[in-house]
Chain A
Amino acid sequence: MNVTLQNLTKRFPARGKKGEDVVAVNAANIEIKDGELLGLLGPSGCGKSTVLNLICGLLAPSEGQILFGEDDVTELPPERRGIGLVFQNYALYPHLTVLQNILFPLENLKGEAKLTKEEMRERATRIAALVQIDGLMDRRPSELSGGQQQRVAIARALVKMPRVLLLDEPLSNLDARLRLQTREEIRRIQQETGITTIFVTHDQEEAMSISDRIVVMKSGVIQQIGQPQAIYDDPCNLFVAKFLGTPPINVFRGEVRENCLYIGEAAVLHLKDTPDRAVYVGIRPEGFVPDEAGALVCRQKGVEIMGRDVSVVATHEALEAPALRAIVSSDQKLSRKAEAVAFSLKPHKVFLFDRESEERVPFAVKEG
């Protein structure tokens, strides 16, 4: 099922008499393809959960349309949209068993859709097998682990065969190890059912690892939509560049002068036809190459060996953060005691952003 959000806007009335309305979502346009797993990503308060609540109908939009395929569902109440929602804290009914929880949505069906007892049981068993909780049907939620509760919640959302599956921060209540396992699980279930799925998260790693495409949001405004790798390699502004990637991107204050990129007084890159301006220079941790002849000289604070690669921690006066972190191959021989370290840069791992607007500034490197 294609899901289309057109110019979707949600304003919450201001508290008190003065003050302006809070725009939680501002003119969002997203097109979600059939069978796609879409991650809505952003820091807390960016409006991603509001988008989810608008899609499922728990909130009504101030403006704009929501289409499921060709149907305009903007005015439909949640129960008639054909969606399954998995809540952040699962919202499993504590007084019902796993089976009763999964049956609950089916027992609500009326009229033609009404199922017999056997059909309901059959569907519940099938879905339980899909999420691999078939051995736990008589337990109560309080007797399950977080991961198992999560699966029950997914089963309950899927059992009525919704057109769209929505997940609100599906992994935030799980510990780190379970999180890895569960995100693969979500991916598997999504691929087996082929259901269009939208999930909300503030964890970029989570979004990058399982989404077909991600939507990065900030303060109610969509910043960028695209495949995880594409966004990582080609962020449209400083916010997106900073938000994606672990360790995070290193940001320097820099300047373009006479077709040359300066960080401090060091000319780190020679550019082609780029107008002079003050910029932020974002360099991915893997963009640094230790090079004794390199132009960027930093004060070395430490070297952390991680086996496969080595992480160099260093400082520089033009750096926005207290320290930078460069990831280099462990083949490089680095002295742990050295005072300074010099880097040359991989140009495709370097991004320039306007100092004022923080928008991306395109540039090309002069060959030779």
Chain B
Amino acid sequence: MKRSEWKAWLYLLPALLFLAVFMLYPLVDVLIYSFEESYNSASQSYTGIGFYNYSYILRDPYFLQALKNTLILVFVTVPVSTALALLLSVALSSIKPLRRLFQTVYFLPYVTNTLAVGMVFMILFQKTPYTNGLVNLIIGLFGMSPVDFIDGPYAAKMLVLCIYTVWVVMPFKVLVLTGALASVREDYYSAARIDGTSRFRIFRKITLPMISPMLFYLVITGFIGAFKAYSDAVAIFGTDLNAAEMNTIVGYIYDRLYGDGGGYPSYASAAAIVLFLIVLTITAINLLIRRRKLQGGDAQ
């Protein structure tokens, strides 16, 4: 090994050490637990090795409910929030007056506490003996009967969770996209204008390809973030998510560890590995699509 290389590893050592202890070791450990039946962390004992934990959780209605919720959340909120963020960013970039004010307003949810935002949503949507909530008031104006969004039908609850998630993840996306839009050189637009390109075509053929690396980044991190959703559901529906049919995979893992159905680290580990595999697959697919789109050239 060359001297300089040896030195480089030495400099990397503290970070590597921490990563190994706090990231790599637990990851491997979780993988091992997921194959150990009835592992008990207190006595460090287990009864057998195999796929039982997986077959158990895949038949557990709570897990299946959590999986379904998570998938709906992922495939609804990521496209919707990305599209909305794109729309907002384009609008923000094309106005001059009050742009900074609007940017600040759109960024506020990002710096606001999840639970505080959850309370606001409760006020908006919850039905109490005294009021039906603000949203129901508006629905009432259109002559429809009020819906209980917090304790009512599944679809209503899911809708609230999706709206909430979109609202929470939007600011970061708007921030990234306005930055990406600002970095597209003015020359490209001037060139397109001189050639008589319609606004829509400019957007589709120039703006979109130029900011596509950022869009891909947002979609991938959006997917990963949505798969890891948990606190959002708690903020609106409280900690007993299974009763509310609003649990997520991460919520299920937590429950299996510490919740009412807790004390089963093996099940929790198996669920965590399943989640990991799903996220890995989705990310791989995303990267493949991206590579195909950018085949033969960079989009810088």
Contacts from A to B (Cβ < 8 Å) = 56-58, 77-80, 83-85, 87, 89, 91, 93-96, 104-105, 108-109, 140, 142-143, 156, 160
Q: Could you tell me which residues of chain B, from 193 to 244, have a CB within 8 Å of some CB in chain A?
A: 193-198, 201, 205-206, 209-210
Once the chains bind, are A108 and B196 in contact (CB under 8 Å)?
yes
Once the chains bind, are A93 and B188 in contact (CB under 8 Å)?
yes
B193: A residues at CB distance < 8 A: 58, 77-79
Give 9 pairs: A residue, B residue, CB < 8 Å, sorted on A: A57-B194, A85-B190, A91-B185, A93-B206, A104-B197, A105-B195, A108-B197, A109-B196, A160-B195
A77: B residues at CB distance < 8 A: 193
B205: A residues at CB distance < 8 A: 93, 96, 104
- The answer for the CA separation of A87 and B185 in the assembled complex, in Å, is 12
B206: A residues at CB distance < 8 A: 93
Q: Is B5 an interface residue (CB 8 A)?
A: no
Once the chains bind, are A94 and B298 in contact (CB under 8 Å)?
yes
Q: Is B300 an interface residue (CB 8 A)?
A: yes
B195: A residues at CB distance < 8 A: 79, 104-105, 108, 160
- The answer for the CA separation of A140 and B197 in the assembled complex, in Å, is 21
Q: Is B14 an interface residue (CB 8 A)?
A: no
Closest to A87 in B: B187
A57: B residues at CB distance < 8 A: 194
Q: Is B141 an interface residue (CB 8 A)?
A: no
B201: A residues at CB distance < 8 A: 108
- The answer for the CA separation of A109 and B198 in the assembled complex, in Å, is 10
- The answer for the CA separation of A91 and B195 in the assembled complex, in Å, is 13
Once the chains bind, are B194 and A56 in contact (CB under 8 Å)?
yes
Closest to B196 in A: A79
Once the chains bind, are A87 and B297 in contact (CB under 8 Å)?
no
Contacts from B to A (Cβ < 8 Å) = 185, 187-188, 190-198, 201, 205-206, 209-210, 294, 296-300
Once the chains bind, are A58 and B194 in contact (CB under 8 Å)?
yes
Beyond contacts A79-B194, A85-B191, A142-B297: 8 other A-B pairs, Cβ-Cβ < 8 A, are: A83-B194, A85-B194, A91-B190, A93-B206, A93-B209, A94-B210, A95-B299, A108-B197
How many residue pairs at the A-B interface have CB separations less than 8 Å?
Answer: 65
- The answer for the CA separation of A79 and B196 in the assembled complex, in Å, is 4
- The answer for the CA separation of A160 and B296 in the assembled complex, in Å, is 28
Most chain A Cβ neighbours within 10 Å, of B195, B196, B209, B300? B195
A156: B residues at CB distance < 8 A: 191
Once the chains bind, are A94 and B190 in contact (CB under 8 Å)?
no
Once the chains bind, are B191 and A91 in contact (CB under 8 Å)?
yes
Contact of A94 among B192, B194, B297 (CB under 8 A): B297
A93: B residues at CB distance < 8 A: 188, 205-206, 209
Once the chains bind, are A80 and B196 in contact (CB under 8 Å)?
yes
Contact of A87 among B190, B196, B210, B299 (CB under 8 A): B190
Closest to A88 in B: B187
A104: B residues at CB distance < 8 A: 192, 195, 197, 205
The 10 closest A-B pairs by CB, nearest first: A79-B196, A91-B187, A105-B195, A140-B297, A95-B209, A91-B191, A78-B194, A108-B196, A108-B197, A95-B299
A89: B residues at CB distance < 8 A: 185, 187
Shortest CB distance B294–A (Å): 8
Most chain A Cβ neighbours within 10 Å, of B187, B188, B191, B294? B191
- The answer for the CA separation of A355 and B68 in the assembled complex, in Å, is 88
Shortest CB distance A207–B (Å): 23
Evaluate whether A105 and B196 lie within 8 angstroms (CB atoms) in the complex, with A94-B298, A142-B297 already known: yes
Once the chains bind, are A58 and B299 in contact (CB under 8 Å)?
no
Evaluate whether A108 and B298 lie within 8 angstroms (CB atoms) in the complex, with A93-B188, A93-B206 already known: no
B194: A residues at CB distance < 8 A: 56-58, 78-79, 83-85
- The answer for the CA separation of A94 and B206 in the assembled complex, in Å, is 9
Evaluate whether A58 and B190 lie within 8 angstroms (CB atoms) in the complex, with A93-B206, A94-B299 already known: yes
Evaluate whether A91 and B188 lie within 8 angstroms (CB atoms) in the complex, with A83-B194, A105-B196, A108-B201 already known: yes
- The answer for the CA separation of A136 and B54 in the assembled complex, in Å, is 56
- The answer for the CA separation of A83 and B190 in the assembled complex, in Å, is 13
- The answer for the CA separation of A85 and B189 in the assembled complex, in Å, is 13
- The answer for the CA separation of A85 and B191 in the assembled complex, in Å, is 7
- The answer for the CA separation of A87 and B197 in the assembled complex, in Å, is 17
Shortest CB distance B207–A (Å): 11
- The answer for the CA separation of A130 and B192 in the assembled complex, in Å, is 23
Shortest CB distance B93–A (Å): 19
Shortest CB distance B199–A (Å): 12
Closest to B185 in A: A91
Once the chains bind, are A94 and B187 in contact (CB under 8 Å)?
no
- The answer for the CA separation of A84 and B206 in the assembled complex, in Å, is 19
Shortest CB distance A343–B (Å): 50
- The answer for the CA separation of A143 and B205 in the assembled complex, in Å, is 20
- The answer for the CA separation of A58 and B188 in the assembled complex, in Å, is 13
Most chain A Cβ neighbours within 10 Å, of B185, B194, B196, B206? B194
- The answer for the CA separation of A123 and B196 in the assembled complex, in Å, is 18
Contact of A140 among B187, B190, B192, B296 (CB under 8 A): B296
A83: B residues at CB distance < 8 A: 194
- The answer for the CA separation of A133 and B282 in the assembled complex, in Å, is 42
- The answer for the CA separation of A156 and B196 in the assembled complex, in Å, is 13
Closest to A143 in B: B297
Shortest CB distance A153–B (Å): 9
